Structures are given as C-alpha cells and as structure tokens.
Amino acid sequence: MADGAIRYRCDEMVAPALEHADPLWVTWSRTQIEQRLAQHARGIDRADEALLRESYHADGTVDYGSLKGTAAEFASAIAVMHVGAPMSSHRTSNIWIKVHRDTAVSESYVMAWVTLPTDGEPQPHLVGGRYLDRHSFKDEVWRMQHRHYVLDWIRQFPSPLPMPMQDALSLSHGCPRGAHYLQDPGNTLLITHASQKKSQLEDDQMNEVDRLDQVLSHQAITELGCRYARGVDRGDAEMIMSAFHDDAAIVSGLVNGSARDFSEEIGVTIDKTLSCVAHTVTNHWIEVDGDGAVGESYVIAYQNTMGDTPEDVMTGGRYVDRYERRQGVWKIAHRTFVLDWTTSSPAKNLMDSGMFEGMTTGCRSQADPVYGLWADAP
C-alpha cells in the first residue's frame, strides 16, 4: 500500500483444474464478486480512482449513458466529479449472480444518496437503479469486465439538509465524519486494523480448505451485522452483545466505550427519544486473514422522533470493524460508526391508512413477530 490507501485483495487464487461448475468454486466466486461490487461503491464514494480501477480488468468497459468507454476513463472522471462534492453513498443490494466457469453475470440494485445540481443549486437526491455487470476470472482473480447502469427512479430532497434537532440524537460530536480518499477516517481505521494481521497466505494461492474457510467466515461475519441491527431496532441488549466479544469496544456517537455498556445503554437512549428505529445494512466488504478480519459495511438508519413536532430522520454512514475468531467463533472486536450524511423532515403517520391498514407492525421488544418465527425454527 505504497500510497497509504487500503486496497481490496479479493484474494488471488489459482482456478481449480476441475470443472468450474464445482459448487465450492461457484460459491467462492460469488463471494469474490460481491466483494468487487462493494469495492466499486467505496471507490465512488471515497473518490478513490485507484480503487475504482481495481474493480475492473485492464480492458474493462462501462456504459453509464453520458459516461461510456473504458473503465480507466470512467474511474478518472468519477474521481474528479466526486472529490469536491458532498458525501455520497451507493448502496447495493438484491445481488443476483450467475457463474459459468470463468465468467459470470450479475444484477444488483443500487440506491445512491448524491448531491446533484438542480435549478442552479446543489440538491440532495436518492437515485435508484441497477447494475448489469459482466465479470471474468483472469490472471487468477475475479474482476468486472463490463458494467451497464440502468436508471429506474429519482427522488429529490429539500436543501439545505436539516440536521436532527434533538440533542440526544446528535452524532457529530461523538463519531468521525466521512470524507474522500485518504482524509476519510474509515480508510484510516481500515489501514490500522489491517496492520494488525497475524498471518498471510503464501504466494496468495488458496487450496479448497482455505477457500471454504473464507466463504464460511464471510457468511458468519455478515450475520453479525444482522444480529447488531436486530438488537438495536428491537431493544434487545442480549442480541446486540451476541455480535461482540466480551472485551469489545465501540464508537457509535451516542454511546462510546465498551460494547457491554453500549448494549445496555443504547436501548434506554432510543426509548427516550424515538418511537421507531430501523437499520438496514449492505455493501459488506470483508477481508479475512486467518483468525482476524477487517470490514466495512454501509448503513442507513431510519428514526422517528418523539415530541410535539416529531421528525422522520434518515442517517447514512458506515460501520468500520475489526473481527476476531476465538474458539472457532467470529465476533466483533472493535466497531466505529462513520457518519456520512443525515436529513430530516416533519413526520407523517402513513401506517394506518390505505394499503397499510391492518398490517402487522414491528415493535421494540420481544413481542415483535420475528421472535416467534425464530422460536419456531428447528
């Protein structure tokens, strides 16, 4: 990392001699392709030209309408466009991948929070679309060969962006703010975490055991994000703590310190200020190295505040994590929330009208229907 920026390895490996229809090969390949999709989003949002270029093979191409041509030209143009702009957030989900030998195609949904010029003034927008991608396994690594962006919808938000009004929800004094390229605290944390690696595969080649371990580790670590989100949203301290090691630490903005203190205090804080909270987590980038790992995931938190003038608040940011596998179990050793953007508007209760009338609604307790579903599972 000569330039000081953390790079995404998507661990190079030699393709197996057997048919690429081998289920382990297909599963591992899907994991690597998902990593590239997360890398691409981070490259755009951090205005990191080198990271974007690494998402593609050297002969890669793109079709973004007005931006059509080589991937290298695209990376340069995007970096210039974003470096002076407010923070953006490109969230990919609904990832559907079809692998065939050493090629693959994928469709993924993307929802981007971006600031665009409208009527001469910068305005925040949510832009929804899909990435239609072709991937290939060349030079012992999966990278993108061609990307075609399909635009589906755009919603404009008012400007300037209002910040949440309640002091209890103010994050800016308690957690780092996102930035571009090397100025981003998330990038600095990833570099710091990565420097603590204890092992390295020799020659960057993996056998089937290594490959299977990487896939299983990736799945286990991704599940920790689900545990955390459910625990916070349902007010379940035990569920939150199940995602962390006992000696873990967290910087969340609302509660900073031990994960144990966070798990016990965050629910009390939320219940005093919010009637509803929901965290959606995507863009899991995870780099596994033996019994340690580092990762970054994107989060949007919806909050409905209490009071005489309730607000609907949306906050976008990232979790930058260090994970450890102890006695065969992966958990979070350290988590930092990086705040990228936030917006709010007067709350409107639409949940008891029209097509939503009579629907089951969630709650912040174990009376929520998900607990019954989990209890019934064999």
35-78: per-residue pLDDT in tens? Answer: 999 999 999 999 999 999 999 999 999 999 989 999 999 999 99
How much is the pLDDT for 63?
Answer: 96
CATH number of 23-156: 3.10.450.50
How much is the pLDDT for 7?
Answer: 44
Environment class of 332 (CB within 10 Å of its CB; exposed 0-12, middle 13-18, buried 19+):
buried
How much is the pLDDT for 196?
Answer: 64
Question: What SS3 class is residue 244?
Answer: strand
Locate CATH 3.10.450.50 in the chain: 23-156, 167-376
How much is the pLDDT for 258?
Answer: 96
Any idea which residue has 């994991």 for tokens? 31
Architecture of domain 167-376: Roll (3.10)
How much is the pLDDT for 198?
Answer: 55
Give ∠ CA 195-197-198 in degrees, rounded to 5. Answer: 135
Q: What is the pLDDT of residues 286-327, one digit of tens each?
A: 999 999 999 999 999 998 888 888 888 889 999 999 999 999
Strands 56-64 and 141-156: parallel
- Taking alpha carbons only, the member of 232, 42, 69 closest to residue 146 is 69
Q: The pTM is what?
A: 0.84
Judge whether 67 and 131 are in contact, CB under 8 Å. Answer: no
Strand partners, 147: 62, 133
- Taking alpha carbons only, the member of 58, 28, 12, 34 closest to residue 106 is 34
pLDDT lower than 50: segments of the chain: 1-14, 16-20, 160-169, 171-172, 202-203
How much is the pLDDT for 91?
Answer: 95
Distance CA 273, CA 335 (A): 23
